[in-house]
Amino acid sequence: MRAGLLTLVVVWLFLLVSPAAAKPYVLKCSTADGHPAADLTVDLENRVMEWGGVSHYVISSTTERYITAVKSPDDFYQRVGGETWVLDRVTGDYKRANVAMFCQDDGCQGGMVLRAFTYSGRCVRPIL
Q: Are 21 and 44 in contact (CB under 8 A)?
A: yes
Torsion of the alpha carbons at 61, 50, 38 and 67, rounded to the nearest 10: -10
First to last CA, the chain: 19
Q: How do the domains of the chain map onto residue ranges?
A: 2-124
Comparing C-alpha atoms, which of 53, 41, 43 is closest to residue 125? 41
CA 121/CA 115 separation, integer angstroms:
21
Tens digit of pLDDT for each residue in 92-112? Answer: 999 999 998 888 888 888 888
Tens digit of pLDDT for each residue in 41-56? Answer: 999 999 999 998 878 8
